[in-house]
């Protein structure tokens, strides 16, 4: 026999003592779920958090930045920014925190006396800017030449990062000086770069494999004649 709210197995009627009722474990399961749900809501109401975006001086987000909320010199909770430099750090009790930002190739940043309130996520905005660590830089120093070997002042030099699949992503542009020289600084990181010098409509490139923070020197000859002065 079947009744709403319970299922009875057995050959007898309702009063059969051999029947097995399963309504009790369904009820207990629902009660346990409700208790967990209420506990989660209560925990959120008792804690707060912070959010924001970490970026460099060029405005680009810094992915992989460790964000730590500290009290009395101890990390209370930490998180990591996404590829856009965005983060949300929750589970912080009421109080005042110092927020530390740490990313490879950059100087650490610190935002002090950040007040957190229960049930709220404080927005720190996108002005969380880290400066490049000058001691952890890849530095390209090079010269651009005409095909006769003389210096090519004013040449445009584009720096691109070569991805594993062969695609490229432009990371910067500089211009050759009066003697055809140029330099470019990039945070440390193992990668392949393509440096392309352009004079007018003619270009020449050179690939550079980078494995550590140091100075990399190169020369690029663009197959174009030096302009003849009138």
pLDDT digit string, tens, across residues 160-173: 999 989 999 999 99
CATH fold for domain 47-129: Immunoglobulin-like (2.60.40)
pLDDT digit string, tens, across residues 171-183: 999 999 999 999 9
Three-state SS for the chain is CEECCEECCCCCCCCCCCCCCCHHHHHHHHHHHHHHHHHHHHHHHHEEEEEEEEECCCCCECCCCEEEEEECCEEEEEEECCCCCEEEEEEEECEEEEEEEECCCECCEEEEEEEECCCCEEECCCCEECCECHHHEEEEEEEEECCCCCECCCCEEEEEEECCCCCEEEEEEEECCCCCEEEEEEECCCEEEEEEEEECCEEEEEEEEECCCCEEEEEEECCCCCCCCC
Q: Which part of the chain has CATH 2.60.40.10? A: 47-129, 134-221
Report yes or no on whether pTM surpasses 0.85.
no
Superfamily of domain 134-221, CATH level 4: Immunoglobulins (2.60.40.10)
């Amino acid at each position: 026999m079947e009744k709403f709210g319970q299922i009875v197995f057995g050959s007898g009627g309702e009063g059969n003592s051999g029947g097995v009722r399963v309504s009790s474990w369904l009820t207990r399961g629902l009660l346990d779920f409700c208790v967990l749900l209420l506990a989660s809501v209560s925990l959120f109401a008792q804690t707060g958090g912070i959010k924001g975006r970490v970026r460099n001086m060029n405005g680009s987000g810094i992915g992989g930045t460790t964000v730590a909320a500290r009290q009395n010199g101890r990390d209370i909770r930490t998180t990591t920014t996404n590829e856009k430099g965005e983060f949300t750090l929750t589970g912080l009790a009421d109080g005042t925190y110092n927020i530390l930002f740490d990313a490879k190739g950059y100087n650490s940043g610190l935002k002090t006396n950040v007040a957190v309130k229960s049930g709220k996520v404080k927005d720190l905005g996108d002005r969380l800017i880290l400066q490049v660590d000058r001691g952890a830089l890849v530095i390209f120093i090079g010269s651009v030449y005409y095909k006769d070997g003389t210096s090519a002042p004013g040449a445009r030099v584009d720096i691109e990062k070569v991805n594993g699949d062969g695609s490229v992503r432009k990371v910067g542009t500089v211009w050759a000086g009066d003697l055809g020289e140029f330099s470019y600084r990039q945070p440390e990181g193992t990668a392949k770069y393509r440096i392309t010098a352009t004079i007018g409509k003619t270009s020449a490139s050179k690939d550079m494999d980078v494995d550590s923070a140091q100075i990399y020197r190169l020369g690029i000859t663009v197959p174009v004649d030096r302009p003849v002065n009138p």
